[in-house]
Amino acid sequence: MLTYSLKRLAQLFVTVLGVVTLVFFTMRMIPGDPISAMAGDNLSGAALDQMRTQMGLNESLLMQYLTYLGSLAVLDFGNTVTTKLPIIQLILDALPVTVSIAVGTIILTVLISIPLGTLAAYMAHKGHKTLDNAITGVAMVLDLMPSFWTSLVCLLIFSLALGWFPASGTVTIDDPVQLMRRIALPVLVLSMAQIATMARITRTSVLEVLSEDYVRTARSMGWSELRVLFRHALKNAALPIVTVVGLSFGNLLNGTVIVEFIFTLPGIGNLLVGGINSRDYQMVQTLILFYALIFVIINFATDLVYRVFDPRVQF
């Protein structure tokens, strides 16, 4: 376990360094920089140049890169270009909203897709093809709808026409009811995409396990179908499902950027969009660093969960 943790830590370091480097250089390949984005056409060339020198943007790329790595080493993430607020503070303030959306989505997805997938698998196993086909069919339709489109449709129906959920308004974690009402639609939209994938994986995985010998053994010991399904089949089918849940987190981070923008939620996705628009190098770099960290941590957690479901997994 110790060697494993050390190995993972080394991996984490390499991953983060790679991501940070990539973002650093790609941001600087985009035309424009923070100064031109902020000033527009209002300032003279000399004034702009002075500001650039102040911010160190006139140094060589390598020099800028090394300075950046140096500040990272002491966990100095800098301030935003426009408001001069500490970036780390902004991110920590926005993070709860994004995490709420992501966790809500995962919970809703798991609650719907695993029973649905298991039911489909059981029906397929028993030769009742109609229900299985219906579930798989619905899952496919859900999968085909892009989330930027479903977002708009949901907004149109549930916020504008029916008025069930507010389409805008302030959000803080201090007011959980308001938070829930605001993130309900984004969670629904993101879940629709995830449910399809997860239900299909669950179906395939459970269906395969149901024809395993040990399931027959459980039946031969006199257990009911329900117990066989939940105690034996689902536990054995869990590994691929856990893998997909872990991987879908990456997709979710993607998805939150879109829904936060459409539903005007103050999460880190919106920060990222703002940062890119204003060419705020520091902001974007720090955010991507955060995304990478979240991703690596989720992967690590997934591996730990493996151990819970399958004792054969050794570290």
Partner 1 sequence: MNFLRPIQALNASPTGQTSLLEVRDLHTHFLTDGGTVKAVNGVSFEIERGERIAIVGESGSGKSAMAMSLLRLLAYPGKVVAGQINLNGRDLNRMSERQLNHIRGREVGTIFQDPMSSLDPVMKIADQMIPPIMRHLDMNSEKARAEAIGWLDRVGIPDAGRRIDAYPFEMSGGMRQRVMIAMALSGRPKLMIADEPTTALDVTIQAQIVELLKELTSETGAGMIFITHDLGLVARFAHKVGVMYAGKLVEFGPVKDIFARPCHPYTQSLLDTIPPVDQAERRKLAQIPGFPPDMKLPLVGCAFKDRCAAAHERCFVEAPDLTLRGPGHRAACWKPEGLGEARRKDAELVPPMTHSEEDRVVVEVFNLHKHFTGRSVLPWKVPPTVRAVNGISLNIREGETLGIVGESGCGKSTVARLLLGLDPATSGDIYVDGMAQMVFQDPASSFNPKMMLADIIQEPLVVTGWGNRMERAARTRELLAQVGLDESYMSRYPNQLSGGQRQRIAIARALALKPSVVVADEPTSALDVSVRAQIINLMVDLKRQLRVSFVFISHDLLTVSYISDKIAVMYLGEVVEYGAADEVFRNPAHPYTQALIAAVPVPDPVAEEARMKKPLSGELPSPLDLPSGCAFASRCPRATDHCRAEKPLLQAYSKSREAACHYAN
DSSP the chain: -HHHHHHHHHHHHHHHHHHHHHHHHHHHHSSS-HHHHHHTTSS-HHHHHHHHHHHTTTS-HHHHHHHHHHHHHTT---B-TTT--BHHHHHHHHHHHHHHHHHHHHHHHHHHHHHHHHHHHHHHHTT-HHHHHHHHHHHHHHHHS-HHHHHHHHIIIIIIIS--S-SS----TT-HHHHHHHHHHHHHHHHHHHHHHHHHHHHHHHHHHHTSHHHHHHHHTT--HHHIIIIIIHHHHHHHHHHHHHHHHHHHHHHHHHHHHHTT--SHHHHHHHHHHTT-HHHHHHHHHHHHHHHHHHHHHHHHHHHHH-TT---
C-beta closer to partner 1: residue 204 or 278: 204
CB of 240 to partner 1, least distance (A): 13
Site string for partner 1, 124-143 (x = CB under 8 A): -xxx----------------
Smaller CB distance to partner 1: residue 3 or 83? 3
Nearer to partner 1, 8 or 28 (CB): 8
Q: How far is the CB of 5 from partner 1 (least distance, A)?
A: 12
Regarding 216 and contact with partner 1 (CB under 8 A), the answer is yes
The only residue of 42, 44, 170, 220 in contact with partner 1, by rule CB under 8 A: 220
Asked if residue 208 binds partner 1 (CB under 8 A), the reply is no
For residues 225 to 264, the per-residue mask of contacts with partner 1, x marking binding by CB under 8 A and - elsewhere, is x------x--xx----------------------------
Q: Which is nearer to partner 1, 178 or 302 (CB)?
A: 302
200 binds partner 1 (CB under 8 A): no
Least spacing, CB of residue 309 vs partner 1, in Å: 7
Residues 88-127 that bind partner 1 (CB under 8 A): 125-127
Residues lying near partner 1 in the complex (CB under 8 A): 3, 125-127, 211-214, 216-225, 232, 235-236, 309-312
